[in-house]
Amino acid sequence: MIVLPGSHRAAGLVDDAALVRAMLEVEVAWARVLGTPLSLGDWVPVLDPVEVEAAGNPVLPLVSALRARVSSPVHTGLTSQDVLDSALMLLARGALERVSADLGRVGVALARLAGEHRSSVMAGRTLTQYAVPITFGLKAARWLAGVLDSLSELEVVARNLPAQCGGAAGTLSRVADPVASASAFAGHLGLVWPGMPWHTYRAPVTRLGDAVVRCCDALGVMAADLLTLGRPEIGEIREGFVQGRGGSSTMPHKRNPVLSVLVNSAALQAPGLGARLHLCAARAVDERPDGAWHAEWPALRALLELAVVAASQAAELVEGLEVHVDVMARRAREAAPELLAERGGGDDPGSYLGAAEVFVDEALKRWEGRDVR
């Protein structure tokens, strides 16, 4: 059963197989620290779910399979949380790379729309009612600003994803040179050594989660606007046509805005997952948590998958968007008495746009000047 529509867009990034590969990468990196480089080729163990349940986490079955395959020391000095936390950071790195790439596509499309429609007059709406005239370019520029902020936040988080290395209770007591070993371990993984273990200090996870949630927020605002503007009684935009997409099981006339619906759905789900990460962080007691850590993994993986899928869907959505400027202009003219009431009246909505075009240009300037490292 496909629980998340579009999950194929995230295939191989955060699923169980990807997590096992990431945990194995962590063990290989630690083996290098121990002075026993491993050569495993393409070998990836298949973990027995009964053994995973018996251990309470998937690390012990992985280590058992690894020790059965190699004779050199592995895992010595680490604990299960070191392996799983570090592996999740590796998964997060791959997911953030994909999300950022698709957000870049969204940004390119929105910048194009903002530029093309900087003067395309439409009705502005507040609290669902007519307000004053705006332009579709301004609306696209506002969406673009949200994408730019998300790209900046995700870049900072991705640069600072930390390795976890603390041993049984966060002291690295079984390692001869703990700090040097932890630093080397992080270096082998391409992660950051934060200076101490974070077994019960879960800010690295909540920071990551918050950045991903805000990304979904930005995409959700855009999707919700498009759903409103695409209603047949408004008809100012429409999702691009794709054969076989948006049909109904009973109504042959339907062409549902599936991508907008799914991106909007992701934005509604993400905050709950982010909140669960904070709840788990607040219950990370003792030196290793008794359940809060275990509740964290599925929430983080689900949030990462949600963002990967939503960013990909959003990119396809805006790249194929149909903008009906004639409908926008006609509706603005018809609603001129209301749209121009603030000014005291008139019949030309395009004469009352304030700094709309200036704001569009500012957003485009920011997009063109972004750091594209």
Catalytic positions, please?
A: 248, 288
Query: Distance between alpha carbon 117 and the CA centroid of its chain, in Å?
Result: 28
Q: Whole-angstrom Cα distance, residue 71 to residue 115?
A: 63
Inter-axis angle of helices 136-159 and 80-116, to 10 degrees? 160
Closest Cα to residue 208, out of 155, 164, 165? Answer: 155
Closest Cα to residue 308, out of 242, 263, 274, 261? Answer: 263
Give the torsion sign (CA, 298, 304, 307, 311).
negative
Is residue 207 within 8 A of residue 217, CB to CB? The reply is no
Identify any residues that bridge with 134 across adjacent strands, giving them in sequence order. Answer: 122
As a three-state string, the secondary structure of 325-344 is HHHHHHHHHHCHHHHCCCCC
Identify any residues that bridge with 130 across adjacent strands, giving them in sequence order. Answer: 125
